[in-house]
A and B are shown apart, each in its own frame.
Chain A
Amino acid sequence: MYISMNWIRDYVDLSGLDLNKLIHQFSLSTAEVENEIFYKGSDLSGIVVARIVSVENHPESQKLHLLKVDIGEEELVDVVCGAPNVRVGMKTAFAKVGAQIGEITIAPRKLAGYTSCGMCCSEKELGISEDNSGIMDLDESLPLGKDLKEIFAIDDIIFEVDNKSLTNRPDLWGHYGIAREFAALAGRELKPLDTADLTCYKDLPALDIKIEDNDCLRYSGVQFDNVSVSVSPVNMRIRLYYCGMRAINFLADMTNYLMLEMGQPMHAFDSRRVEKIRIKKFQKPFTFATLDKVERNIDENTLMICNGDEPVAIAGIMGGLASEIVADTTAMTLESACFDPVSVRKSSARLAHRTDASQRYEKTLDPEMTVTAIARFVKLLTDIDSGAKVVSCLTDVYNRGYECKTLTIDKAYVDRYTGIGDAITNTHIENTLKALGFTVKADNGVFEVTVPSWRATKDVTLKADLIEEITRIYGYDNFLPQTAVSPLYPVRMSLEKSVEEQLKDILVKRFSLHEVHSYVWAYYDEYRKLGMEVEDNVKLLDATNPNLETLRRSIVPTQLCQLKGNTGYAPQFGMFEIGRVVDGLKPDGMCKEEKKLAITLFSKTETLEQLYFRLRDMLAVTVNEIKHQPLSFQKLEASHSYQHPKNLNGVYCDGIYLGEMGVVHPTVSKKLDKKAAIVYAELDVLALSQIENAGIHYQEASRYPGMEVDLTFLSDTFAPIRDAISSDLITNVKVADIYRGEEGKAITVRLTFSSMDRTLTREEVQAVTDDIIAKLAQQNIRLK
């Protein structure tokens, strides 16, 4: 919203103050001001009132005229002018030689063979309106040679307030409310609005107004006749233009002017179209043509203004085309109403049509304002158009309003919030609240505060709301920062959190993996391209993008999709993510959200088996590092499209299932890369964090020499060998070699024997190895 400082100064005397500083203060105390401030008229000088003395047609041009212009100096000035509306005797705005218009300095120059010593100007050329239909047609009474800036309010400072910072301040949607803030900030008086006394019309006939729906809080109206002015005064048009509004015609400009001044949207109807004003909703949907000539679909929730049963306007949003003020309109009915903010917001969203009016109603406008706005309108109208007549009494139907709130705070309450004690005095509290329109009864540090109606619609309801008023006007920059004092106590990191951080460090630092982030939903298209199913799960409601609708049950498919774009990154790499998945619903209907660690390894340089064991060892090292416990693995049945039917294992620690690791199914794998080996793992972070940390158990090294024995068995798997090895004397078991020969797979185990209290004899060791060999022989596993 654009704010004119001239307009503000109508209501607060800011003389002697630095306006730029005040605007900055406003930004820090009230609402955000955009950085760029416009100094209107600052690039305009030397524009004077001139009279056109003679007009001759240019001999060779249809458009151009050769004028002699009187600017109140000794000699007439020759001007070449292309405006269509030139006429002898007309007074207009004239840029003298040496005048400044924006970046242009006016100098004598040849135009189509004739010298032009200056320029007659349109309002658009002067930057004071959009009107470029012709040069300005000024009032006959204006003295020749008078500087235009002394006649019209061309010089102004305009700044823009970020609308988003006004959402909670319905009172700031007009200049008068902003002026109140400036008055409070500057410590100056806010002048009252100049309004007409409406009681003198009380004997005139009333309008027929009935509110038939509770979404209308108040509907006030008055009827006028004999309005003869059709073009708004220049100063009014300049203000509208500077504030970003187009001048339309006098009445439309008046309603806009009032809205910009007071924040009260208004609407003028042709009185013939609104004889019986009814505010209501319709059971059945229909279409309705609005002023902007658009047919709109109206449903049963949209509040309408009607003439009897015939809709004439969408309440709080826009008037109808059929009830518009037209050329032969003589009487017009002015609406000044208040509607329910939620109703207007929803209708406006439904119609996808947000207007200056609906934008204001959404903020919960003050219903007390409707009548004042009419009084202000009548005053302005009759000032400008002395022939205009009020032909009805003020008709006001007040359906419902907001509670008048009184809050009591004391100095101690303020001090507790501010923390700066007597830097904010009782006087400051009282004066600030009064300046902002609150009624204050102060009694020795206790303040009984009545909230003004324009702040009471939703903004100020609690004592804490008053703190904001007091502190923002005091200025947050004036606060002395102070540390809070608190007792000492240890800050512990949650187990899950520290496990998460450990996981990241180990995977990045030790295994050179890359951490990535992804999205929590399944991407249908990308899954399909890789031959993976989107598994049924909790869904987004009203998903706008059908490609992302279902939440993921596992990070693995997500990561495989991400892998797709990375297959050229390096011949071998790994990536991981710690993220959330949803495993359906819990019995109470809530999502079963789980935090998972997913790892994918990709390699073009290793065999699938090598890569799988690298992943296996990576998991074993990682878990061992964090929990000092070994992992175990069990074969799993494949149940997802990306899982390999053979090489899929459950990962266990301390008997607890942590998750799975597997080879990616070849159909998926080949779509990612025809030659590469791809494996994955997914572990539950919470389950891992809850495993007991086995700790470090120090054992002294034996003082007696140990002994190593290699045994080679013909066996397809290591498991039976592992299970057969059990002796206190064996301190380490390693697979020294695997050999696939004619006799089948041969596994060489290297056993380390050692004892804390003696040097072992060959016989002792032999007894143990014999026992192992015998046990395995029973399972038909023989020594090679």
Chain B
Amino acid sequence: MTSLKRSFANDASAPNLSSKVFVRATKSGKVQKIVRELYLRQDIPCSSKLCSKCLERAPLNYHNKVPQFVLSDQPAGTKLFPHGHYLVPDTNAFLTGMDVFEVETGFRDVIVLQTVLEEVKNRSLPLYHRLISLTKNEGKRFFVFFNEFRLETYVVRGNGETINDRNDRAVRQAVKWYEDHLQVASAVISKSRNCPAIVMISDDQDNLRKAKGEGLKGIKLSDYVSSLDNADELLDMVSAGQEQQAVRSSKTEMFYPEYYSLSKMITGVKAGTMHQGTFSVSPYNYLEGSIRVPAFDKSLLVLGRENSNRAVSGDVVVVEVLSKDQWKAPSSKIIEEDTLNKNDNADVEEGGESVVTERERRALQEEVKKAHGKGPEGRPQPTARVVGIIKRNWRQYVGHVDKDSVRSSAKQSRAQQMVFLIPMDKRIPKIRIRTRQAGEMIGKRILVTIDSWDRESRYPVGHFVRSLGELESKGAETEALLLEYDVQYRPFPKTVLDCLPEEGHDWIVPPLDDPGWRGRRDLRDLLVCSIDPPGCVDIDDALHARLLPNGNFEVGVHIADVSHFVKPNNAMDKEASMRGTTVYLVDKRIDMLPMLLGTDLCSLKPYVERYAFSVIWEVTPNADIVSAEFTKSVIRSREAFSYEAAQIRIDDASQQDDLTNGMRTLLMLSKKLRQKRMDAGALNLASPEVKVQTESETSDPVDVQTKQHLDTNSLVEEFMLLANISVAGKNYQAFPQTALLRRHGAPPKTNFEELANQLRVKRGMELKVDSSKALADSLDTCVDPAEPFFNTLIRILATRCMMSAEYFCSGTQSYPEFRHYGLASEIYTHFTSPIRRYADLEAHRQLAAAIGYEQLDASLQSKSKLEAVCKNINVRHRNAQFAGRASIEYYVGQALKGRIVDEDAFVMRVFENGFVVFVPRFGIEGLIRLREMETPEPKCEFDGERYVLKVLGKKERGFELFQKVRVRISDVAEESTGKRKVRMEVL
């Protein structure tokens, strides 16, 4: 009987065949044994320019060419390897030192083994993506060598060998092969030539020892980095996690409870005994976290460090609800980390300390007392404790070094020490970083990442990535903002720019016989104009109106035809879909699309012909829609107005030309449309909007103004809303499953509980929240005749109780859920700003397909793909808003720099030891702490149910919610951090 068994190890007939066996669990919980056959080949090139043999044998790529070889023939040398070297990092080198490898100035000619790449992918997906983008970076010369597919470098797993050992052996085998291979290759060129060294970088002692035994060059990452010129800076960038473990292993004291095993958590979540959600920390109290879980209406509180158990804001965690006797009320006190734990020493390894400092414990204790209050605000709420982390959402954090944590003696020296980094985001705990350049870091904005947070360490441990520049310098602060909100601000890569039309700025609408005109209507004779904020260069909308013979009006909204230039799935589309939106900062705009399109070819500039996507309605003089029509078109805008200019032109009775009359018609109709919308229950919400006036040259802030609202603003707004609603209906009709829409969920009543109670207690006003109409009406009644701003304040507070609007794919929700609560519209989408929002671009494509202009791309027909797009643009959209707001905040601060201003302010929130005020003039909130009012901190009485804080200092005075106070605004540089802060004092 001949054997049926295929034994790979010793089968001479099939040397290039192997197999791999592993177990895989499917999503449905099935467990499969997977056998993969491997076909080993010998033509995978080494990709070194030294080697001519590989060049001959290398397989051709798609273009029938041998891909360009990556590794230089004259790689750089170091002290240790003077003849040049190629680096072959092991997995752990990438895991701990990815930031070092990304350094622009060094670390070139790196061979990334497939074994390593796969291991990195298994261990950390973000790091894997970074590594992939490194290999795409031509200047860095990173080459992925598929060693598992090459016959000579493939290793069979031995009997009883662990996977790790096998992979280490594979790495060594590849190093060995490279060494021998290049030896031969360089000998071909010239006998005397020194072959570059192949250096394996690994932190695994055992691996290094074995490499030495085999005569290979192996070195620890830290040792290698130490031998480089700018070692100090680079060493800081190596992750701290691993080495420390060895040092600390003797210690047994653990500060935090251990996490549950993954399977236990999954079981618990499925069974409903545990809950999964995203952990978020209160911006007022760093010890109080909350987590929204699907099982409950209200979020669960997570109080104290021990309960939050090393979760960082943003992590996806699993919590267990605590027993009822541990339920507490949410904090009524402001607790900030830097004031409470100012004196921590970063270098002390927290020997006898407990995880909760005495002060923290006291702060919590006081809260428990409060928890027994009876008011709705003081009622104990369910609390929970974190039992495990499903996914860490650690990113890079921007912050500054705590000056106090730097040993004074060490400020000049290069000795390594631990320092605290205080993140800009108050919800993130201090991060301990090990550095040799503590002295230089003081007073700088610094980017760090968190490496680990072990049970035995009170604070997470991280490492330095790079310095952004001086604190408060515009460049550093802006970059910090962009990094904090994850805004992609690098210039567009070449692949994206390649997608632009070849003509560049010379592109013009082609003559009538061009295929570009197919299906396009010629609307060049319409009197179209655009109205935008002053200085706007990316004009995506233009309007026209004219009287029809039957007494009705024809109204047209013309939107830049971006989808003509950005075709689905090319590099530009992918980049735009990743960026999701244009981000507007005070002095800067981070575009979603390259400048050429955004500000020129797509922009509906006046006096030139442009492609457009038009929505044309027939409207009765009462603003009732008779019909709507959608078409691709060509228009020529007659004028580009600013809101103000348009207003002046309309108000100027002497102007009687058709264009101005058209605008008057638009204004008249828009007022009627708005009234209808309000009658239907649309909300008029307010958010503090201010404008920073900057000097034109230096863009230094000069003054801050609240934004003016003109009639022409709402003129444009009304027609944009109308266009969006019309398009949403059309798209949904054409693609009931995959239309990209935007919804605004009705907020749960509990969201308004607190505000309603505050209004009832303080003003005896009733807030009805049954429907958006009821809310709109009751908001209208919340007026204080003595204080016109009071209504706006309530609207601002009400806005904060709302859910945020979101993009979604129509197949994922039922029709009643489509509703836009704020606009009181049954269906809504974004269509009118395709230059700056990706959602609009997708809506354009869908509409074009709906009217039969072109085929719908497959990506817009797949629900899952569209969902992924929605998820991304929702996040990007939110981040862009935050970034914009933060930018304004920063500039407001800068505008106030060195000035002292007295302003009116309103109390928005009352705590036990302070209160928050809102300054309408600057649109800023400020925290006023009792201890800042007088020293020593005055005694006070806090009535949480009546929202009154009575201060019993030298001067007895009371503060209550919604009260108007006069505050003095100044800016102070905090002594410990050197950071400038807006400071408010009550007058």
Q: Do A and B come from one complex?
A: no
